[in-house]
Amino acid sequence: MSVTNDVPGSGAGDGERQLVEAARRGDERAFEALVLKYQDRIYRLIQRLVSGSDVIDDLAQEVFIRAYRSLGDFKGESSLYTWLYKIALNLCRNHYRTRGRRPAHEELDEADGAVGMEAAGGTPEDEVFRREFWDHLRLGLDELPAEQREAVVFCDLEGMSYEEMAGVIGVPIGTVRSRIFRGRRALQERLAPFHAARAGAQGRAT
Amino acid sequence: MNDARCEEYHELVSAFVDERLDGPDLLRLETHLEACGGCRTFERELRHFKELLPAVEAFRTLRRPPAGFAALVAARAVREQGALTVPFPAARARGRWVGMVAAAAAAALFFAWSWQRLLPVGSPEQKFAARSFSPGVEVAEAGSMDTWMREHAMLARESTLLGHAEEAEFASFNAGAVAGR
């Protein structure tokens, strides 16, 4: 069964609707095609919301298992990806509730950043900046209240619209707007010492 | 101008950089920005931050699903379909009937549990109560009472998430009835 290139966020296309219908009837290949289509996005979202590489596979798998169980309730009014995001968000929230939030100051993964930055090119100073900025950013995200972290991740990293966010998070658009603002401001404040130190170092170097 | 009122404008600036501001709010903010250097700086910093965030994250190595992930998950999902507790629309009528039987079993379970708690531990009455209590088909299929309870607790959370008030209430009752054991 082929998969059409429906644009995520634009609602389910005909190809996707057919896959959903087939999966509802127990067609394993159809459901596999749906998982294949969205697995990268779900993996990425989970890594943005939850620290700790040991749980990513389990959480991602659970997202799709629960989606399959509830496929009968998917009406196609929203896009399948936002519906999957809703399930993923709920599982991530359960995870950081049971773990007592994201593990702030968790040791950064060995692979987290290093490989990609080396491959990114640029001057050594650029690489150092990106690495340090990312380390500070990640710790800053860890320290945000969950609702603000989710808002920043959905808006600035996932590129979702306010309407999509309101649907996934289950709050009014005004609340979405407020959470994005508070999250961004808190992160900026968290990163201000890093920028000041960097500016100071550049000043001394010239 | 850079006073306490700027705090109010900062949230508008955040929506402004997302191009989500219009009407009177947009007019009000644009008027303020013309006069307030502090808020213009805030706008500039916020735009920079919004661009920098994904740009920096792009160099992070995110893990990707392992090979064969989709096939494994699909196989597991279909295999576990037999143990579904949230019925598909076609099965809802049958689900209601099963639900009524399960509700009766849960009520009997709760009654037996309450009675047991009143009896001295290890008494013949208690043993009798434990022997005579039949948890029903659902519990037998689940393998154990604890598993059955956990499944219902999970079902309650899922049903709440999915907006199935009736299922959520029913599952909460089943999970809660035994949770105090």
User: What ipTM was predicted for this assembly?
Assistant: 0.79
* Contact: B74, A31; criterion CB under 8 Å: yes
- Please state whether the predicted TM-score (pTM) of the whole model is above 0.80: no
- Which one, of A174, A37, A56, lies nearest residue B14 by Cα? A174
Query: How far is it, in rounded angstroms, from Cα A170 to Cα A23?
Result: 26
Question: Do B97 and B170 sit in the same domain of this protein?
Answer: yes
Query: How far is it, in rounded angstroms, from Cα B59 to Cα A151?
Result: 21
What pLDDT shows up at residue A33? 97
Q: What is the CATH number of domain A107-206?
A: 1.10.10.10
Residues 172 through 201 of chain A touching chain B, CB cutoff 8 Å:
177-178, 180-181, 184-185, 187-188
CA distance B150 to chain A (A): 15
* Position with higher pLDDT, B110 vs A23: A23
What pLDDT shows up at residue B161? 56
- State the residue range of the domain holding B15: 5-57
3-class secondary structure, B64: coil
Q: What is the pLDDT of residues B57-90, one digit of tens each?
A: 877 778 899 999 999 999 999 988 754 434 434 4
Judge whether B62 lies within some domain. Answer: no
Q: What is the pLDDT of residues B90-106, one digit of tens each?
A: 434 444 555 566 666 66
Residues 5 through 34 of chain A touching chain B, CB cutoff 8 Å:
24, 26, 28-29, 31-33
Residue B32: count of CB within 10 angstroms of its CB = 18
Residues 40 through 79 of chain A touching chain B, CB cutoff 8 Å:
40, 43-44, 47, 53, 56-57, 60-61, 64-66, 68-73
Picking from A1, A20, A34, A35 by the largest number of B CB atoms within 10 A of its own CB, the best residue to mutate is: A35
How confident is the model over A159-163, as a mean pLDDT?
95
Closest residue to B70, CB basis, from A26, A39, A72? A39
Pick the CATH number of A1-103 from 3.40.1500.10, 1.10.1740.10, 3.30.230.10, 3.10.150.10: 1.10.1740.10
Query: How far is it, in rounded angstroms, from Cα B56 to Cα B4?
Result: 32
